[in-house]
């Protein structure tokens, strides 16, 4: 746990350099625009502890799987997001001495992430040549308006020193991943050129042959005027640079603008990459840094206007929620259905930058409520396009007849993770993907999606559930054996309540849509049946049987759902009984001990109650919460947010707030000592949900918005933006009043604390209401 960042409502501020936490800060201060992402590494040489990270969305490497004992069905590779060519490099020497903050004395240092306008700024003063002082200020952003562009303004000022400053602006493609299975490098050189003030390096990924062109051009200014500087080109294998020496006098400031364009063969033809990069660099330089910055910060203005959450009375909470919203929008902009959201986004290598169920279960609900509906649709289309590979994945495991098992971890639709208990058993992800279709439609009203794409996916997933369930002659019920639920501290269990619930829900929802389309669009439906060889009668007969006769483990004496068969045979004890020096248990206990214990990594039965809460009364939810929450260790970042939302729903206000606190500043305060590896991007969406669905009680049901607001006692007010079917509205909650303001779009129906209101598009609804305190 650390607490080094100053509290500020729009900025993250590190004052004074903390080299021991440098990797943590590199994650926290990362910048991105959905297309390129960059950890907050320094421009100049740094010989201290660092994780270098420059990422290009969609560009990955299939690193050969490494396991001790091969099992049939294992994926051949584990995909890795690549540490791509370093585009930020600017080395500095002063009178021949390299500037290196790991070895230099530091007079002052600050690092600022400005979330309102989307930039990273760093400034420091160091002593140079016989007690003279030099000041360096750099500002960096990756453009939200023109996503291939990254910009650096690097200002070197002499306070009282006179001498020579050497600059080397470079692009270095000779980079590696920390996370490689065999210590290999993943890039090869394709092309380079460097002349005058422009340079281009094209590298390609081994095996996948993505080509990435990284180009730079630059200009120097003194007294705000461009100056001509003689430069010498440097070329090495996978490296281009330009070197310049400039004399600096006391009081003088030199400004270097480095313009960078990163293009990949995902979007540009390989043979045109060099030319295209040149065009992009010239256009960027013609426009100029200031203009590009204005366009970029304007885009951030538009994002905040539709997704900001304002908390009055708690700077720490305000900073945290903006930090989360900021990083989610830096990770995914929803413009390209080939891209997705890695659990660490562009802030580190962990989880390989691949797509997990996190997207559908956590990130999608955030984007559905804060972004244009195309953003959600593209997340769905990503899976639709992977349907063929998911069917192939299921075939590999022995399923047939078009049954699909979506991968637990993927880059391109293929399963690319290799822990058997995850790839083979954590099949609940299929249910999250089916539920996402329902969630998208209930938010957007885009019913056409079902016929155009959704039903094909739903049928394939239903086919999977139907084949994966077996009929137990003993129980005279359908059972689902050998699974891992969301709680990964149990493997190979039978009848995980959550998984069985999702299976039945998916098939029911598929059948419901089929019967709607039978009346609404029978021709298209028949065409779909033909395309996927769907034998309605035979297949749905078993489906209906399965819905009627699925087995669900329950404990009748406590009147609760059981996480899985046999759960009650465990020695039940609360997580509070675990010694504090043994937490987190995944770092202190053997795997065997964890598996035998009752401790729950993350919401499991409660994840199901969260999805299907409309089916259960508050008392049922309470009984299950009371049973499971004390045993939950929340060692997944995706856990506390769900428990917090449920606690709000059942009126456990203190608990809801305590759980919310656990998720809100998870990364900023580094609760789990793992921020050095990257940020928990997908769980950031969970924090947002804990405010909007938890404290705000927002639900979308049957074409209406439901709100049931509460307010933590130390907040004077809070407000959030949300979208519903192209209507953008703002909800503001104070202790005695709730106001709803439509910012754009049509009138909507809101059910506020049980009472229905029509909120007119041109009006603001203000309801005086005693809002409960969370104390």
Annotated catalytic sites, by residue? Answer: 488
- φ/ψ of 602, rounded to 5, equals -155, 165
- Is residue 406 close enough to count as binding ligand BGC by CB under 6 A? no
* Least separation in angstroms between CB 636 and ligand BGC: 4
Which token pair is 563? 């996480």
Q: Where are the alpha helices (DSSP H) in 386-479?
A: 387-396, 420-423, 428-444, 448-449, 455-468
- The vertex-136 CA angle with 95 and 224, nearest 5°, equals 100
Tell me how far apart the alpha carbons of residues 435 and 733 are, in angstroms, rounded to a whole number: 30
Among 333, 682, 687, 734, binds ligand BGC (CB under 6 A): 682
Tell me how far apart the alpha carbons of residues 604 and 385 are, in angstroms, rounded to a whole number: 29
The separation between CA 89 and the C-alpha centre of its own chain, rounded to angstroms, equals 27
Closest of 27, 723, 7 to residue 331, by C-alpha: 27
Decide whether 310 or 422 has the Cβ nearer to ligand BGC.
422
State the first-to-last Cα distance of the chain, in angstroms, to the nearest integer: 25
Place of tokens 């809460």: 613
- Is residue 343 close enough to count as binding ligand BGC by CB under 6 A? yes
- Is residue 30 close enough to count as binding ligand BGC by CB under 6 A? no
- The vertex-265 CA angle with 264 and 267, nearest 5°, equals 80
Tell me how far apart the alpha carbons of residues 443 and 465 are, in angstroms, rounded to a whole number: 26
- φ/ψ of 497, rounded to 5, equals -55, -40
* Least separation in angstroms between CB 638 and ligand BGC: 5
Task: Find residue 92's DSSP bridge partners.
Answer: 167
**Binding residues for ligand BGC restricted to 347-366, rule: CB under 6 A:** 351, 356-358
Which token pair is 453? 């794409």
Decide whether 170 or 356 has the Cβ nearer to ligand BGC.
356
Tell me how far apart the alpha carbons of residues 359 and 439 are, in angstroms, rounded to a whole number: 13
* Least separation in angstroms between CB 411 and ligand BGC: 14
- φ/ψ of 336, rounded to 5, equals -135, 115
**Binding residues for ligand BGC restricted to 477-536, rule: CB under 6 A:** 486, 488
* Least separation in angstroms between CB 356 and ligand BGC: 4
The separation between CA 280 and the C-alpha centre of its own chain, rounded to angstroms, equals 28
Decide whether 181 or 586 has the Cβ nearer to ligand BGC.
586
Closest of 619, 629, 472 to residue 553, by C-alpha: 472
Which residue's Cβ has the minimum distance to ligand BGC?
343
* Least separation in angstroms between CB 237 and ligand BGC: 36
* Least separation in angstroms between CB 605 and ligand BGC: 15
* CA distances, 105 to each of 16, 20, 26, 168, 596 (Å): 12, 15, 20, 22, 52
Residues 6+ apart with CB under 8 A from 189: 173, 201, 202, 203, 237, 238
H/E segment holding residue 149: strand 149-158
Decide whether 79 or 653 has the Cβ nearer to ligand BGC.
79
Decide whether 407 or 486 has the Cβ nearer to ligand BGC.
486
Pattern 632-671, ligand BGC, x by CB under 6 A: ----x-x---------------------------------
Tell me how far apart the alpha carbons of residues 102 and 117 are, in angstroms, rounded to a whole number: 29
Decide whether 488 or 629 has the Cβ nearer to ligand BGC.
488
* Least separation in angstroms between CB 429 and ligand BGC: 8
In angstroms and rounded to an integer, the radius of gyration of the C-alpha atoms of the chain is 27
* Least separation in angstroms between CB 346 and ligand BGC: 15
Decide whether 357 or 505 has the Cβ nearer to ligand BGC.
357
Decide whether 347 or 602 has the Cβ nearer to ligand BGC.
602
Among 83, 444, 563, 602, binds ligand BGC (CB under 6 A): 602
* Least separation in angstroms between CB 408 and ligand BGC: 8
Decide whether 629 or 730 has the Cβ nearer to ligand BGC.
629
Place of tokens 């930090």: 323
Size of the site for ligand BGC (CB under 6 A): 12
Closest of 481, 414, 568, 309 to residue 62, by C-alpha: 414
Interface ranges with ligand BGC (CB under 6 A): 343, 351, 356-358, 486, 488, 601-602, 636, 638, 682
């Amino acid at each position: 746990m650390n607490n080094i960042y100053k509290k500020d409502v729009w900025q993250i501020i590190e004052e004074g350099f903390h080299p021991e936490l440098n990797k943590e800060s590199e994650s926290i201060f990362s910048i991105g625009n959905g297309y390129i992402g960059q950890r907050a590494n320094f421009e100049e040489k740094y010989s201290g502890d660092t994780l270098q990270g420059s990422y290009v969305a969609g560009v990955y490497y299939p690193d050969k799987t490494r396991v001790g004992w091969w099992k049939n069905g294992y994926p051949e590779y584990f995909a890795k997001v690549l540490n791509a060519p370093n585009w930020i490099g600017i080395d500095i020497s002063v009178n021949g001495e390299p500037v290196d903050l790991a070895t230099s004395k530091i007079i002052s240092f600050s690092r600022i992430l400005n979330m309102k306008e989307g930039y990273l700024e760093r400034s420091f003063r160091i002593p140079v040549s016989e007690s003279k002082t030099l000041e360096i200020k750099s500002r960096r952003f990756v453009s939200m308006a023109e996503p291939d562009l990254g910009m650096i303004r690097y200002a070197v000022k002499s306070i009282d020193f006179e001498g020579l400053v050497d600059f080397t602006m470079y692009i270095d493609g000779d980079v590696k991943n920390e996370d490689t299975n065999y210590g290999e490098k993943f890039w090869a050189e394709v092309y380079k050129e460097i002349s005058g003030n422009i340079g281009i390096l094209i590298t390609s990924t081994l095996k996948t042959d993505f080509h990435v062109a990284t180009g730079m051009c630059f200009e120097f200014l003194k007294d705000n005027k461009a100056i001509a500087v003689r430069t010498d080109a440097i070329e090495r294998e996978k490296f281009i640079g330009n070197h310049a020496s400039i004399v600096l006098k006391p009081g003088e400031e030199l400004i270097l603008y480095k313009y960078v364009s990163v293009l990949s063969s995902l979007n540009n033809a390989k043979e045109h990459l060099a030319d295209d990069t040149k065009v992009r660099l010239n256009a960027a330089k013609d426009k100029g840094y200031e203009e590009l910055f204005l366009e970029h910060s304007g885009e951030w203005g538009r994002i905040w206007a539709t997704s900001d959450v304002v908390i009055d009375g708690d700077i720490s909470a305000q900073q945290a929620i903006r930090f989360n919203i900021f990083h989610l929008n830096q990770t995914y902009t929803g413009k390209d259905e080939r891209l997705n959201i890695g659990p660490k986004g562009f802030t580190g290598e962990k989880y390989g930058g691949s797509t997990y169920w996190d997207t559908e279960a956590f990130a999608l609900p955030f984007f559905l409520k804060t972004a244009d509906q195309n953003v959600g649709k593209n997340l769905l289309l990503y899976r639709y396009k992977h349907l063929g590979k998911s069917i192939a994945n299921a075939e590999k495991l022995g399923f047939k007849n078009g049954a699909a098992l979506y991968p637990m971890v993927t880059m391109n639709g293929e399963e690319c993770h290799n822990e058997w208990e995850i790839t083979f058993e954590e099949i609940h992800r299929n249910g999250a993907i089916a539920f996402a279709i329902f969630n998208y439609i209930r938010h957007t009203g885009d019913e056409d999606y079902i016929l155009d794409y959704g039903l094909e996916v739903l049928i394939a997933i239903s086919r999977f559930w139907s084949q994966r369930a077996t009929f137990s002659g003993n129980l005279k019920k359908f059972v689902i054996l050998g699974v891992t639920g969301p709680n990964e501290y149990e493997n190979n269990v039978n009848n995980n309540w959550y998984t069985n619930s999702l299976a039945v829900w998916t098939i029911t929802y598929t059948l419901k849509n089929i019967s709607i389309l039978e009346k609404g669009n029978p021709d298209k439906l028949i065409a779909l049946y033909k395309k996927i060889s769907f034998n309605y009668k035979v297949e749905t007969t078993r489906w209906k049987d399965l819905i009627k006769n699925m087995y669900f483990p329950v404990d009748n004496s406590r009147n609760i759902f059981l996480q899985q068969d046999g759960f009650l045979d465990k020695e039940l004890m609360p997580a509070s009984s675990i010694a504090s020096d043994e937490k987190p248990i995944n770092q202190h206990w053997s795997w065997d001990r964890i598996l035998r214990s009752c401790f729950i990594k993350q919401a499991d039965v409660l994840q199901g109650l969260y999805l299907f809460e409309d089916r259960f009364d508050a008392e049922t939810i309470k009984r299950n919460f009371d049973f499971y929450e004390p045993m939950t260790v929340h060692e997944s970042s995706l856990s506390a947010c769900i428990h917090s939302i449920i606690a709000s729903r059942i009126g456990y206000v203190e608990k809801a707030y305590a759980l919310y606190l656990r998720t809100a500043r998870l990364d900023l305060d580094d609760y789990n000592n793992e921020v050095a590896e990257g940020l928990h991007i997908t769980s950031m969406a969970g924090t947002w949900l804990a405010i909007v669905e938890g404290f705000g009680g927002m639900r979308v049901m049957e074409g209406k918005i439901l709100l049931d607001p509460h307010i933590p006692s130390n907040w004077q007010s809070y407000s959030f933006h949300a979208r519903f079917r192209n209507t953008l509205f703002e909800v503001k909650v104070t202790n005695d009043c709730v106001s709803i303001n439509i910012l754009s779009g049509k009138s909507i129906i809101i059910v506020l604390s049980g009472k229905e209101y029509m909120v007119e598009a041109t009006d603001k609804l203000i309801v005086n209401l005693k809002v409960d305190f969370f104390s």
